[in-house]
Every structure is written in structure tokens, then in C-alpha cells.
Structure 1
């Protein structure tokens, strides 16, 4: 009898130990609300500590900041997990390549967020998100009290290389990816090419460049000093014609543009370059501007994202700008080889002539 009781006690203790060990492996919060061991904390780019689920538990992803979609898909993450995005994230992706990068693009909800990037929290929560990716306080408006991790990718320093690399690194941390094949490696390749060319033209008087933020026909806005557009111009060997202004979206007049008289103009959003060059924009006469006279008004290319904003294609943008600024140093044919090799290396896409045309001359594709 005593031996039997002893055996029962031993078995009971073993079962208790198994139960305790199983409890240690739970992935959900317990009844007291304490975080499970599978949860982890990260520091987002705004400097806030955010508690995230285990990587395997992130099933439903919402992306509000458009460039972040390019970084997400560039890392081979499945778009089946994306339940909501800003519509701009899709409209600013290359139309010829959209189905390749985001095959389920027509099924992803875009109605919960406005064109000003403000979310309807009630509609967003219906998507049952496990994580929400944003850029800055505007995109977090209305999401302050929801019980879903919100990761902010905002940085104060508007430097294209810095931000495109940092969002790549943070995206890898969030989704548990290795550090190999990071975007910084591509920037290193691009910088070497650009630095060599700029060193060769160092003694030449710098041309004046202008980055149009948007042109609706009624209103022209430009990208002044300290902006991503300014960084593109300066890093590609130009002087920003709008450097006397500060800010990302500054309205200007034709009189001001004539006074600046830029040698090269890059169009980020709004009316396409062809309308500038054909003189078909009512109320705007570009014919006296040097860039018009030389035919140097260009749309920013559109690949995995519109290249006017930092994105997963950004190492290509800086080289493309240099090819336009100094075509005698980097020809169109040489640049297209760079583009093809990048897309095959990064995305395993062999670009056809049609695809290349659709990237470098937006609107030329389907």
C-alpha cells in the first residue's frame, strides 16, 4: 500500500512538472495579462519601444506608409498576409510589374485609409491586424488607443540612403529575416559607381536641378532644401535650384521658376514630363527655361515604387539621375544593364524591353 501511494505521488509530481514546462512554452498572454515569452520588443525608427508577437504569429499585416510596401515585397515576404494598404502604395507601383510584386493586389483592402493617410480605426480593426506599419504622427492619428502594435518608420533626417536602408533593416527585424542580401550592399555598389563619375566631373560647373513635387496644372510645388528631393539632386552632382526654400511641398510661380532657370527638371508627381516639353500645360510657359530648351525634363522612373521617394529601388535612382545629369559618363545602354542586373539579383526578374520601358518612361506600358 505504501509503495503504491509512493508511486502515485511520483506520477503526480511528474505530471505537474510536465504541466509547468508546457506552460513555459505558451505563446499567448496568461490570465493576468502578462506577456508571453514568445513576444519580443523592438525600437522603431521614431525611437519608441514596441512589443510585437512572435514572427510566426504575425498573420495579418497593414501597411499605411506607401514606400514600406516596396520594402516588404523586396524581401520576399508573402503579400497573402497583407490585409490592408494605402491605395497610393499600389498606384505608385509599376503597372506592368504590379501583378508580379503583389499578385493579390485586387483583394487587399484600401478603403480604411484616406488619401491624407488618416485611418478609420473601426474599419481598420475589422481587418484583424497583428501589426500596423506607419510613417509619422499623421499616420498614427486615431490609432493611439487600439490594442495592436503600431510600428513607426519615421526619421527626421531626409536622406534617401539612410531611410531606405533603415526601413529595410527594421523590416528584416520585424519579420525575422537574415541580414544577408541587405539593401546597404546595393547602395555600396551604387555609391562606388556614382562617386567615380562625380570625381571625374568634379571641376565642371554644377548644373541647376529642380525636383517638382507635384504639378496639377493650377498649382506647382517643388522640393526645397533639406528634403528627399534635395538629397537626390545634390547627391547626383547638381545644385538644387530651389535651395533658397525649405520644405517638401512648396508652391511656386512660373515667374520664380523662370528666375531660377534650372538646367534639368525632374517630375515626381502630377502632370507628366511630356506635357511640359510639348507646351501643352495651360497657363504654364516652360519654353524659356533651359531644361525645356535642352529637352531635359524627366519623369522619375517607377519600378517597385515611384523612385522619387526612398524605396527598395533607391540604389537604382541615384545611378539613373547621374546617367541623366552626365550622359557622357553613363550611357542609357550602360544604365539599362545596371537595371537588369539589379532586378535579377534582387527580385529574380528578367526584365524584358517592355518592362524596362515601363520603368524608365512611366506611362509607356500597359
Structure 2
């Protein structure tokens, strides 16, 4: 996940079959992007598809794409969700593949586990020869010129994405993917569903009389701490549910994105809830058993939680973000039970045409790894 061009607004225009289907995003992180407009039907086989990506560059396809290489980590699972299958995914970043292997995406779509995942380095630098060998219709890449130029210089078609830490980026990605797959109506369906969940979360937050807890999200814990600072999606949803983020409070971390820090800074903040992301293997017990952390409120009250891992990691922005909002709302305010297992089941039917088993739901929600944390039994079966 990148946090590049963090202070810019995203404007996406998708033109399908010569008539405009505009998706405009320009509000703040707390509000949804504008509802997509257009016919809501896939283009005929003879009609071209033109997409203006988040660099402002227009890419045209003669017909819906059939082979896609994805490099940004959320993009592979997002493509599968938009398409309803993995047949048009040709390769992905290794971190995307790891999430599929360790989550349930590989179970739902076993083909994904056999796909190449050597198309870029950890910092998203493309392995141009590996990508060219696949001869894809399009490569999805972060929009930084140093990441895009080597691909375009090799004659490959590229769609550039940005992540400004806002929900409107997810809406933009969905709109682009749906258009290039020849399924623009799918973008409308996903956004309508997401907007409904966003309104529900906002309504719950507005109706509470008490202030929410301070919540600190660790993007990395093992091998050096990194926390979500300004202009991150994590900061957005912490505030969305009614919590506060100490990394953007009165004693904020400098800069934006995922920022390194030391334990002393965490001790000064004394967060009431700590979230451990899915970009390393840290679990709540690692903090509970370490004497260094014992005086932090979140540890004393056993409010350290591993973020769920479903079709993709729930901590960065993606198609399952509405489930993250509900999960975090129930973590921050455990007295307001969300019926999350039912919501996950319903959302997975909608996104993947898959009904997770009780065992899969336990895996997604880390019910074993989080079992020693306060109030987590609310997510157990039964």
C-alpha cells in the first residue's frame, strides 16, 4: 500500500462506448464519493472502452480486457471481486499472493495460488521482463512515474492508481476495473452497497453520547514500529467509527502515511486500543507477553487486536472495507453488537458468490489469535 500524492484530490472519468459515465471524487475522507452515473450496461463487443486513470492519462481498449497484471497490493483481490472470478487475473505482486495464500481468497478461487507473483519487487519496482513474458492486455501499477515509465517504455499498457487515504480512491479503482472488464454496472452495485454501509456507520457514530477510545494502528510491528499517521485510510476509519488516532492528535507523528516511531512515543500516547495489521505476523499475545508494553492502557485492559484478513487484508482500503468499519466499530464500542459474522457472510455472497463456512469465518476474524483480547467473544459462532 502506498500513500503517495496524499494531499491531492482524485478525479476519475471513465468513458464507455463514447458516452460518459463519470465518477467524480472530490469530497473529504469522511464523505462518500459522488454516485456513478451512466447507462449501467456493458459495452457491445464492437464498442471501445476508454478510461482516464488517476494520472489523468486516457487508455483505450478495443474490447474488454482478458489478461491483467496487478502490482498495487489491493488490486489483485479487487479485480477478482469486481469480475466475480479470477480468470482474467494473470499475475500479481507477491504481497497480494501471500494475502490470498494466508486468507480465504485462495480457497474461494484456487487458481489464484498458481499465478505468477514475481512481477515486482517489494517496493513495487516492476520486473519488466517477467511482465512482458505474460503479454497482458493491461498492467495496473501505482502512478509514480519511476514505477510506470519502465512498463510503458517496454510497450505495455498501464493504468495508474493512487492512494490518498480516502474512500473515493476505492470507488475510483472499482470504477476503472469494472469499465475495463466490460462490467460498468458492477461498479454501481459495489459503490451503492459501500455507501449504504458508510451511512450506517456514520449514523451509529453520530448517535453515541460518549467519546470513543484512542486507537493506534500498527502497519508494521515486528522488526520496527510503523503507525498510521496523517492522510491514511486507517486514520479515516478510526475517526469514522468515533475513535481518535493519537498519531494525528495533539502530539502527532511528523509527515504522512506510515511513519516509524519508538515505544517511548507509544507510552506517551497511552492508547486505549491497539490494532495490529496484516503486513507482518505480530499477534496480540506478542504484546501481552512483552514487559515493555505492560503499562499501556490497551495492554492492561487486553484491547489489542489483530485486524481481520478476508479476501484481502482489511486494514488497507479495498472491497471489504465496509466490513472493517463494522468490525472496528464493534471493537471500539463492544456494547453495540454488530452481528458481524452475518455481515461477512452476506458481503462474501455479494462480492464472491461464496458463503464462508464457520471455520472460514473464524479464520477471517482471527478468533483464535484474538481470543485473549477483551470482548472478542462477540465474534464467535453461536
TM-score calculated relative to the size of structure 1: 0.81
**Could you tell me how far apart the structure 2 residues matched to 1:38 and 1:194 are?**
40
Looking at structure 1, the residues matched to 317 and 225 of structure 2 have their Cα atoms a distance apart, in angstroms, of 22
Question: For residue 142 of structure 1, what is the aligned residue in structure 2?
Answer: 150
Segments of structure 1 that go 5 or more residues without pairing to the other structure are: 1-36
Distance (whole Å) between structure 2 residues aligned to residue 330 and residue 136 of structure 1: 40
Structure 1 position 65, deviation (Å) = 1.1
Which residue of structure 2 aligns with residue 151 of structure 1?
159
CA distance in 1 between counterparts of 2:69 and 2:229 reads 31
Measured after TM superposition, the shift of residue 311 of structure 1 is 0.9
Structure 1 residue aligned with 2:349, among 327, 336, 344? 344
Question: Does 134-143 or 58-67 show the bigger shift?
Answer: 134-143
Q: 5+ residue gaps in structure 2?
A: 1-45, 370-382
8 Å contact kept, 1:45–1:153: yes
Count the aligned residue pairs: 318
TM (normalized to structure 2)?
A: 0.77
Contact 1:118–1:141 (CA<8 Å) still a contact in 2? Answer: no
Match of 1:354 among 338, 341, 359: 359
Equivalent pair of 1:301/1:362 in contact (CA under 8 Å): no
Corresponding residue number in structure 1 for 2:27: none
Please point out which of 84, 92, 95 is paired with 1:85: 92
> Residue 210 and residue 86 in structure 1: after superposition, are their counterparts in 2 closer, same or farther (change >3 A)?
same
Distance 2:326 2:313 in 1: 15
Instruction: Report the equivalent of 1:115.
Output: 122
State the match for 2:199 in structure 1.
192
Counterpart Cα distance in 1 of 2:295 and 2:332: 20
The Cα shift of 1:363 comes to 7.8
1:252 aligns with 2:258: no
Aligned to 1:225: 230
What SS does structure 1 have at the residue aligned with 2:102? coil
Report if aligned partners of 2:212, 2:333 keep a CA contact under 8 Å in 1: no
- CA RMSD for the aligned pairs? 2.2
- Go from structure 1 to structure 2 and tell me whether the alpha carbon gap of 1:110 and 1:117 turns closer, same or farther (over 3 Å shift): same
Partner of 1:130: 137
Distance 1:346 1:121, change over 3 A: closer
Q: Is the counterpart of residue 74 in structure 1 residue 69 in structure 2?
A: no
Query: Residue 22 of structure 2 aligns with which residue?
Result: none
Question: Are 1:270 and 2:288 matched, yes or no?
Answer: no
Q: 2:210 is matched with which residue?
A: 204
CA 78–350 in structure 1, closer or farther in 2 if over 3 Å, else same: closer
Residues 32-111 of structure 1 aligned to structure 2 (within 5 Å): 39-55=48-64, 58-93=65-100, 95=102, 97-111=104-118
- 1:77 Cα deviation after fit: 4.6
Measured against aligned partners, the alpha-carbon deviations of 1:45-85 in whole angstroms (never above 9, x if no partner) come to 22111232311xx3322111121112111123542332221
The 1:177–1:225 alpha-carbon spacing in structure 2 relative to 1, beyond 3 Å, is same
Q: For 2:206 and 2:242, how far apart are their aligned partners in 1? A: 10
How big is each residue's C-alpha offset from its partner over 1:170-192, in whole Å with a ceiling of 9 and x where there is no partner?
A: 11111110425622122222123
Structure 1 residues 179 and 266, CA gap change in structure 2 (3 angstroms): same
1:303 is matched with 310
- Give the secondary-structure state (helix, strand or coil) at the position aligned to 1:242: helix
CA 1:124–1:231: 2 relative to 1, 3 Å: same
2:150 alignment partner, SS class: coil
